[in-house]
Structure 1
Amino acid sequence: MNTPQPADAPTAAAAPRRWPWLLAVALVALGLGLFWWMNRGHTSTDDAYIQANITMIAPRISGTVVRVPVTDNQRVEAGALLFELDPADHEARLRQVSADLAAAEARVQVARAELDMTRTRAPAALAQAAAAVRSARARAEKAAADERRYEALFAKDQIPRQVLEQARSSHLALQAEAEGVQAGLRGAQTLAQQIAAQEAALASAEAAVAQAQAARDQAALQLRYCRVTAPVAGRVTRKNVLPGSQVQMGTPVLALVGDQPWVVANFKETQLEDLRVGQPVEIEVDAYPGRHFSGRVDSLQAGTGSAFSLLPPENASGNFVKVVQRVPVKLVFDPAPDPALHLAPGMSVIPRVDLREQGGARLAEAPP
């Protein structure tokens, strides 16, 4: 009679032990399939960061800080006072140039009055001088005729020499008077040149007024620069100013981070083929786990990240190893996040772009 083989018992006992492994493989395959199913039509990258407009604030004049009403990380509205410089020197300068302007305006009034007076007096003075010339000439001519008549009478011994000498003296006096009046007429005829000179003096005085006005405006502008206000709404960061500090013109002393952040996602160049402008984006911010933000694809940077680095790669010499480049893509929040949320530049995010919407233009073809 045949007896059973002892080796068959271990083989039959090992079969049940394979089920856990098969089950694990099946679960892994199911998970991978589920992951593929949920991520099909999407692309993502973890090389993405929040960006925002950063406005560096620097005084437009040098001076001593007397007041700083803001604190670090405080949110301010556009036009809010950030700090104030000592205005004493600029107030004194404004008073000085205002006095200079008043003096220049007074000189203009004097020059204008003299010009008006000369213009009014010139015709009458010229007519009076011409009439005086005519009168003097007539008297001189009459005296010359009397002299000739007395000479004829003296030649006939009808008058004494004394009368003749008186006639000659009268003729010479009236002739000299006529020449003096003629000189006065020539002086009156120069009134046109005098008016032109006074007009030039008035123009010079008016130019001095304009110069003084510009100096006063500049002084008023310098005084207004003592109050440094926020050009845009945002949060105060990198504040390096205190009351009593000496600040220099053009040297930044604080920064304002804007309230409208966006995301710069550095996608691989192999991921750009299916990206379109306007595609919806789901954004996860590492600082707010479990919270999702909505956005859309906006634009593509005209150059890879390495092309704008401090030391761009030089691939024209030596051995070359091809490396997949990353291209910054701008993603905008839609709708805009609550300004109360602290979405600061540099925060890490993970954007997930829905590639199934293909209605927009390709990033490479997007209008500027």
Structure 2
Amino acid sequence: MLLLVGAALLAFVIWGFWRAAQPPVPYFQGQMEARETDVAGKVPARIAQVHVKEGQQIEAGALLVELDSPEVRAKLAQAEAARDAAQAQADKAARGARPEEVQMARLAWQRAQAAADLAETSWKRVQSLYAQGLVSAQKRDEAQTNARAATAQAQAARAQYDLAASGARTEDRSAADAQTRRAAGAIAEVQAAQAETQLRSPVSGEVAKVLARVGELSPQGVAVVTVVDLQDQWLVLNVREDDLPRFAMGQRFTGRLPALAGRTAEFEVFYQAVLPDFATWRATRGSQGFDARTFEVHARPVAPIEGARPGMSVVVEGAV
């Protein structure tokens, strides 16, 4: 009996030494991450209303926060006034002179033409009398000059009438149309800024953080709400390069989530990247060799993990 007990004790001691001599079981610990979207305003404004709470499930396009910006409203009013003025100028250029102005120009031309005809008739009469020696050369020259001046005035009046009848020049109409388009562009720019006073979620997910408070000033580009997409989660592991073959691209492995009562899930590696030098673990040899670098490995669950949330630990044990 004592012999059997001694043999059993010896076998247990031998097994303990053998177990102690075995290399430790590989053990890796990482944590779950998820896609987060920070929603921030493009214009500085004061927070008027907050429509969501932390933990709330929302769809893409949901209204998160309303901002109040008197400056944007004032710029919109200015842009609309500039548009109206430009449109009035374009309408004026397109329509040309008023009918009354055209009528006045036509009558002025007719009056000038009548005066020119009379001056031409007088010149012909004086020329005939001069040929008969009844008037002096001075009188003939004055009549000729008056006829020429009256003809020039009639031509100028006709040009004024043609100008009024044809309306604005093509260049003037083009310039007026360009001013109208410029004003419309300014309005579109201000309307785009006004639309940014209503912050909407670009993605579906869960509201993770609400940093906005009614009455506070929201600076430009500072996030006021963070939305996390729980459908887009992955595991992050820091792996020394001599263990990296266990987590090759496309490799699948099993991890355990202690926060979910030890539930296991299968993951697939889709990303590897070396960490900076300060993350080096240790030298492989004391006298020569190289330093073992650390790599960041991302692995996505093969199937959705119900209840998994960012920050939960994932333990990977044993050989992959």
What TM-score comes out, normalization by structure 2 length? 0.76
Give ranges in structure 2 of 5+ residues lacking alignment: none
SS in 2 for 1:241: coil
- Are the counterparts in 1 of residues 41 and 223 from structure 2 also a CA contact under 8 Å? yes
Equivalent-residue separation in structure 2 for 1:145 and 1:236 (angstroms): 103
CA apart distance, 1:45 = 4.2
Q: Rate the CA distance shift 1:257–1:137 in 2: closer, same or farther, 3 A.
A: same
Instruction: Find the counterpart in structure 1 of residue 315 from structure 2.
Output: 350
- 1:56 matched to 2:51? The reply is no
Distance 1:253 1:274, change over 3 A: closer
How big is the shift at 1:66?
A: 1.6
Structure 1 residues 17 and 353, CA gap change in structure 2 (3 angstroms): closer
1:226 aligns with 2:197: yes
- Greater share of strand: 2
Deviations 1:205-240 (A, max 9, x none): 222212221221122112211110111123223322
Write the distance in 2 (CA, Å) between the matches of 1:201 and 1:245: 49
Query: 1:313-363 deviations in whole A, cap 9, x for unaligned?
Result: 9x9xxx99954222112211112334xx2411x3321246975xxxxxxxx
Distance 1:116 1:283 in 2: 85
The answer on 1:267 being equivalent to 2:239 is yes
Structure 2 distance, partners of 1:68, 1:251, is 15
* Partner of residue 286, structure 1: 258
Structural mapping, 1:103-122, within 5 Å: 103-114=85-96
Residue 139 (1) aligns with residue 121 (2): yes
1:234 partner amino acid:
G
**Alpha-carbon distance between aligned partners in 1 of 2:78 and 2:156, rounded to the nearest angstrom:** 46
The 1-side partners of 2:288 and 2:19 are apart by 39
Letter in 1 for 2:94: R
Give the direction of change, closer, same or farther, for the CA distance of 1:335–1:29 in structure 2 (3 Å limit).
farther
- SS of residue paired to 2:53: coil
Q: Residue 207 of structure 2 contacts residue 226 of structure 2 at CA under 8 Å; is this kept in 1?
A: yes
The 1:197–1:353 alpha-carbon spacing in structure 2 relative to 1, beyond 3 Å, is: farther
Superposed, 1:285-364 pairs within 5 Å as 285-301=257-273, 304-307=274-277, 323-338=291-306, 341-344=307-310, 346-351=311-316
- The DSSP-based 3-state class of the residue aligned with 1:343 is coil
- Rounded Cα–Cα distance in structure 1 between residues aligned with 2:76 and 2:66: 18
Question: For residues 1-368 of structure 1, what are the structure 2 equivalents within 5 Å?
Answer: 14-22=2-10, 24-25=12-13, 45-86=27-68, 90-91=72-73, 93-114=75-96, 139=121, 142-151=124-133, 154=134, 164=135, 169=139, 172-173=142-143, 175-185=145-155, 198-259=169-230, 260-273=232-245, 275-301=247-273, 304-307=274-277, 323-338=291-306, 341-344=307-310, 346-351=311-316
d(CA) in 2 for partners of 1:257, 1:130: 84
Counterpart amino acid of 2:142?
L
Aligned with 2:292: secondary structure? coil
- 1:158 corresponds in structure 2 to none
- The change in CA–CA distance for 1:45 and 1:209 in structure 2 (over 3 A counts) is farther
CA distance in 2, matches of 1:189, 1:22: 129
Residues 110 and 75 of structure 1: is their aligned pair in 2 closer, same or farther, counting only changes over 3 Å?
same
Which one-letter code corresponds to 1:147 in the other structure? L
One-letter identity of the residue aligned with 2:187 = R
Give the whole-Å Cα distance in 2 for the aligned partners of 1:139 and 1:272.
Answer: 113
How much has 1:248 moved relative to structure 2? 1.1
Q: Give the match's secondary structure for 1:71.
A: coil
Q: Which structure has the larger Rg?
A: 1
Distance 1:46 1:354, change over 3 A: closer
Q: Secondary structure at the match of 1:176?
A: helix
AA in 2 matched with 1:349 = V
Q: Check conservation: 1:282, 1:353, Cα contact below 8 A.
A: no
User: How far apart are the structure 2 equivalents of 1:132 and 1:275?
Assistant: 104
Taking the aligned partners of 1:136 and 1:350, their CA distance within structure 2 comes to 114
Distance 2:266 2:97 in 1: 76
**Partner SS, residue 287 of structure 1:** helix
Report if the CA contact (8 A) 1:48-1:349 is conserved: yes
Q: Offset of 1:110 from its aligned partner?
A: 0.5
Is this contact kept in 2: 1:140–1:178, CA < 8 A?
no
**What amino acid does structure 1 have at the position aligned with 2:251?**
Q
* Number of residue pairs the alignment of both structures matches: 307
Are the counterparts in 2 of residues 147 and 168 from structure 1 also a CA contact under 8 Å? no
Shift of 1:94: 2.9
Distance (Å, rounded) in 1 between the aligned partners of 2:168 and 2:237 = 73
Considering only aligned residues, what root-mean-square deviation do their CA atoms show, in Å? 4.3
SS in 1 for 2:270: strand
